[in-house]
Every structure is written in C-alpha cells, then in structure tokens.
Chain A
C-alpha cells in the first residue's frame, strides 16, 4: 500500500514537472476576475484582452466571479499554473502581494492598486481622459444643459471620472450642470435604470453611467434621450441613444506586458497608461453628432495625445470654490474625493 502511494506521488510529481516544462516556451497567463465574463462591462473588457492573448498563441485561463474575501487561494492556484497572473480588482491588492511573496518565480500584475514588490507590479489606464473626451460630445449634444451621471460606489476612481466628465462637458457648454445619483452598489441593473429615469425626470438629456450594465442605455432609449456607454461598447443595446462609449482596450497592455515578461525585460512598476497607448478610447459616434463637435473633441484629443495637456494639469475650480492652479500628481488623482465646480450635489462623505 505504501509503495502504491509513493508511486502515485512520484507519478504526480513527474506529471507536474512535465507540465511545467511544457510552458517554458511561451509564458502562460492566468486571469482572476471579480465579476462574470458575461457582465458586459469591466470583466468582459478584461476578458477581451485575454482573448487577444489567446489569439496571439499564449496559453491562458481565467477564474471569474472571485469574491475579494476568497481571492488569495484562487490567486495562489493561478500562480502555480501560470507564469504571469493578472488580478483585476482593487480588492485583490493585498492577496496578490502576499501570494507574490510565496511564488517569487511568477510575475503578478494587479489592476488599479498601488503596491509593488520584486515580482508584482500594477497597471491601470487613464480612463478619465476618455471620459473627458466623451463628455465633450455629451456636453455638445445636451439641449437642456444638464448631464446625468449614474454613480456606482463612491470610490476615488469613479469620482475622478465624474470630475473629468464635468470638465469635458464644460468644454462644449461652460454652463452645463452635472447631476450624480449614486446607486451605492457595483451591480444592480434595475436600480441603474431607475437612477437614469430619475435623472431624466429631473431634466438631464444625456446619461453617463459608471455602472456596468446597459440598463442606462436602454432607459435613455425609452425616454428618447442620449447615453454614453461605460467600459465596453453598449451600442448594441440601443443605438438610437448611444452617443459613444469610453472603453477599455486591455489587449494593448496585456500584449505588451506579457511580451516584456517573455523576453525578460519586465520590471515591477506602476503602469498608468494613457490615451496615447490606446488602452482607453471612444467607440464610433452616433450619426446625429455634428461634425463640428467631433472636430472640437479631436482638437482636445490631439492635445492629450501630444502630451500638451491633460485633464487635471491646468487648474480648475473645486465645487466649494477653491482654486486648484497647479497640475495634480498621479497620487492626488488616484485619491480624489472632492467634486469640481459644475456638479450639482455634494460629493459623498464631504
């Protein structure tokens, strides 16, 4: 009996060794997702990036709907199977670092956090730039001079986007008013829809959502107003209403990062990629968007692309009236919790 067991263990070890040897050519890549790939938003966008890696010949796998409270074990499993592990929710930050320490030979990349170690880095995209550009269109298309935003949970990332949208819309209409309704949840389609309805009832005629589902696009369509999609192209859910969407193109980053690991040039760091890399961008515009508005948006886009300007680098007024004159550092942007002028209500917790 004992012989049998030791034999079994021997076979297992050989199997493990053989299989790990097989990965030696191209690195294999694992993804840990916070939502289901069918969420049509955040996780779906990351999964499109993963599929791009597959197409490029990399072996990948993923685990979806991993709750933060349980992520450490899943990340560890992925670390054993893969050479590179991407973890795509803020709440995975500490577990990622912890597992990175236990698996020094694996490379870890955590999305949206701020901690690094020898074999763990983080990455994110400057989505606020895309939101800013989308809002130039939104501000120009609003006849009532009022934009409504459906907020998910009040974390700095979302507040940064809300501010970028407000500043962008002011480019087209300096007097534009922006109203935010928080659903205080990451996912609740019915409530997102109701929030959009409340915003429309209150006079908004362009709805921007920070939540993942297409509920707001549909509500906008029903009411005959416009909407801007979030994270992925939502035009399929209501092209009559869909002005454009500020989307993630994670494939750009994933290809680059995986290649860097593959040829040994990868270094831990905080990659916060901007519009110029293509990691964020806009989808095609609604046919009703006038050419002049697109030209205007493209002018701002050109400035961002050339590095001549960024959204929060040339001063703005906070909602409470204080002036910000110097450019914000990345750290200040990442911890943003105040609103800029132009927003109707107060920022939560301020």
Chain B
C-alpha cells in the first residue's frame, strides 16, 4: 500500500511542472497560437526563480519573478507571430534557442549554490483522507497553487467574458474582427499569460524538485508539455489528469524496476505519445460524427486584419 501511495506522490511531483506548463499552453492555443518554445520558457522561469530565491529567500518573490520573466520573454513570441505574422512553429523553435541560451548564460555562475526546497504543508482535515489525502493534500504550496490555477484557468476560459473572447479569436478570428473584438490583443494577452504559467512550471524545478541550478534543468519537460496540451484537448481539467498521467508514466518507469517487472523502458517512453495519438484520433472520429470541433479552428493560422479577399 505504501509503495502504491509513493508512486502516486511521485506522479504528482513529476506532474506538477507539466501541469503548469500545460495550462499555459492551453490558454495560448485556445487563442489560436501554438507555442513550441515551452522548453525555453520553462528554463527562463527556472533560472529566474532560482536566482530570486537565492537572493531573497522568499518563495513568493521567486515564483512571481519567474512568471514575469517568462511573460516578458513570451512577448517576443507574441510580437513575432502576431505583429510580424511569422510562422508560429518557427518562432517557437527560435524561442527554445533563445530561452535555453538566456538561462544558460545567466546560470553560469550558480554552480554549487542551493536553496531550501518548498516544504510539505499538510492541509488540516483533508490530508487524513485515506490515499488521496497523502497524495493530494500533503504537498507543497506550489502544488496547491496548481490546483487553484486549474480552477482559475477553467473559469477564465469557460465562464468569463474574457475567456469567451479568447476562445472566439482562436475559433473564428475573422468573425471576431468584424464584431469589433481585437483579435491581436486577446491573442497577445493569451500568449503572455500562458507564458507566465509556463514559467511557473519551470520554477517548480529549482524550488521543489531539484533545489539547485544546472544547465538545462528541465531536461525536455517543455516538449512533453507541448504534447500534453493536445492530450488534454485544450481543457484545463483534462490537463490536470493528463499531467498526472504523464507524471505517473515517469514515476512508473522507475518503480516497475523496483518491482522487477521487465518491460523495455523505451516502450514505456513511447506509450504516452502513442496513447495520445490513439485517443486524439478516436475522439476526433466521435466528434466528427457529432459535428463538434475538438481543436481551436484557427490554431496555428496567421491572422491578418484588414485584408479583404
């Protein structure tokens, strides 16, 4: 039983940075802008969080600074894709270079420095629920903050006027434009807001998982998050499940070895991606029958205002 709970605790820990990043990606893609630069943004968030933590000793400042820094860097992506109308995919790749370089450059002098990782705070009452309590309610503050972000993102996208507009510019920008909704402003907001959350995902590494700095600390999690946004069908609630499922896959790869179960680790690595493709295909088929769109219709497409065919 303990073993089982430990796996789940590890799944949540490994899933939390993915969750933040996925939520960020969901907001951005809902508005119609793909962000392949998540790895770069997470690294920027991680670096800034670590530096601020090291100098201020204040978790709140560290997280806020990470969000702001990644927000600023994602403005470049927003500017290049939205104002200059470049390819979102190419710009995202440039962002990966940029963020990786930026974090490596300023992380140069940080070798050997450490910070105190976030402590676990059991939530009174809730943490004594069997299994779930110790998995979900005996975690650190950032994990709790991620629950809040899931709820907030969901509320933002599906219950607020702002979210409706964000989704609309991702579905039918031309219609929005004719209704006087500024497509570019909403997209800009979504890319930068999403970028901030992605940065917080990066911050989880030095603040909780691995409380020191090393080049490339996120080790490709940003690319997993790119896939997760899709796996979650651009839905914050599904992002929660998806992030923990991917976290579980990471945790299982190690725990299956503990159990002596002999499965090729490389097949385990493929599994989440194959599953994502399968599920995406099945859901698309089902929704085709019902005539529902799964994906934001204008995703990845350049919007140009004022062009009349």
Determine direct contact between A and B, CB below 8 Å: yes
**A residues whose Cβ falls under 8 Å from a Cβ of B:** 35-36, 38-40, 44, 179-185, 187-195, 197-198, 201-202, 213-215, 218, 222, 236-238, 344-346
B215 interface residue, CB < 8 Å from A? yes
**Further contacts, 18 of them, CB under 8 A, given A188-B220, A213-B210:** A36-B215, A38-B215, A39-B215, A40-B214, A180-B257, A181-B258, A184-B265, A184-B269, A185-B219, A188-B219, A189-B209, A191-B14, A194-B254, A198-B10, A218-B210, A237-B114, A237-B212, A346-B262
A218 close to B258 (CB less than 8 A): no
How many residues of chain B are within 8 Å of chain A by beta carbon?
A: 39
A182 close to B250 (CB less than 8 A): no
A36 close to B14 (CB less than 8 A): no
CA distance A183 to B266 in the complex (A): 11
Min CB gap B20→A, angstroms: 14
A189 close to B13 (CB less than 8 A): no
CA distance A191 to B210 in the complex (A): 9
Min CB gap A5→B, angstroms: 34
A189 close to B258 (CB less than 8 A): no
Cβ contacts under 8 Å, B210 to chain A: 189-190, 192-193, 213, 215, 218
Min CB gap B108→A, angstroms: 6
CA distance A222 to B210 in the complex (A): 11
Query: Which residue of chain B lies nearest to A65 when distances are taken between CB atoms in the complex?
Result: B215
Query: Which residue of chain A lies nearest to B11 when distances are taken between CB atoms in the complex?
Result: A194
**B residues whose Cβ falls under 8 Å from a Cβ of A:** 2-3, 6, 10, 13-14, 17, 104, 107-108, 111-112, 114, 117, 205, 209-212, 214-221, 250-251, 253-255, 257-258, 260, 262, 265-266, 269
Cβ contacts under 8 Å, B112 to chain A: 40, 236-237
Query: Which residue of chain B lies nearest to A238 when distances are taken between CB atoms in the complex?
Result: B114
Min CB gap B111→A, angstroms: 6
Min CB gap A10→B, angstroms: 37
Query: Which residue of chain A lies nearest to B257 when distances are taken between CB atoms in the complex?
Result: A181
Cβ contacts under 8 Å, B255 to chain A: 198
B257 close to A182 (CB less than 8 A): yes
A38 close to B114 (CB less than 8 A): no
Given A198-B6, A218-B210, A236-B112, are A189 and B215 neighbors across the interface (CB < 8 Å)?
Answer: no
CA distance A192 to B159 in the complex (A): 40
A183 close to B205 (CB less than 8 A): no
For the complex of A and B, list the 10 residue pairs with the smallest distance between their C-beta atoms, beginning with the closest.
Answer: A236-B112, A188-B219, A189-B210, A36-B215, A184-B265, A190-B209, A215-B210, A38-B215, A198-B254, A181-B254
Cβ contacts under 8 Å, B250 to chain A: 191, 194
Min CB gap A85→B, angstroms: 23
Query: Which residue of chain A lies nearest to B113 when distances are taken between CB atoms in the complex?
Result: A236
Query: Which residue of chain B lies nearest to A219 when distances are taken between CB atoms in the complex?
Result: B210
CA distance A333 to B221 in the complex (A): 36
A39 close to B205 (CB less than 8 A): no
CA distance A179 to B269 in the complex (A): 22
Given A181-B254, A194-B13, are A189 and B111 neighbors across the interface (CB < 8 Å)?
Answer: no
Cβ contacts under 8 Å, B117 to chain A: 218, 222
Cβ contacts under 8 Å, B211 to chain A: 218
Given A184-B269, A218-B210, are A191 and B257 neighbors across the interface (CB < 8 Å)?
Answer: no
Min CB gap A34→B, angstroms: 13
B14 close to A190 (CB less than 8 A): yes
Cβ contacts under 8 Å, A180 to chain B: 257
Given A218-B211, A238-B114, are A189 and B217 neighbors across the interface (CB < 8 Å)?
Answer: yes
Min CB gap B155→A, angstroms: 30
A189 close to B260 (CB less than 8 A): no
CA distance A222 to B205 in the complex (A): 15
Query: Which residue of chain A lies nearest to B107 when distances are taken between CB atoms in the complex?
Result: A38
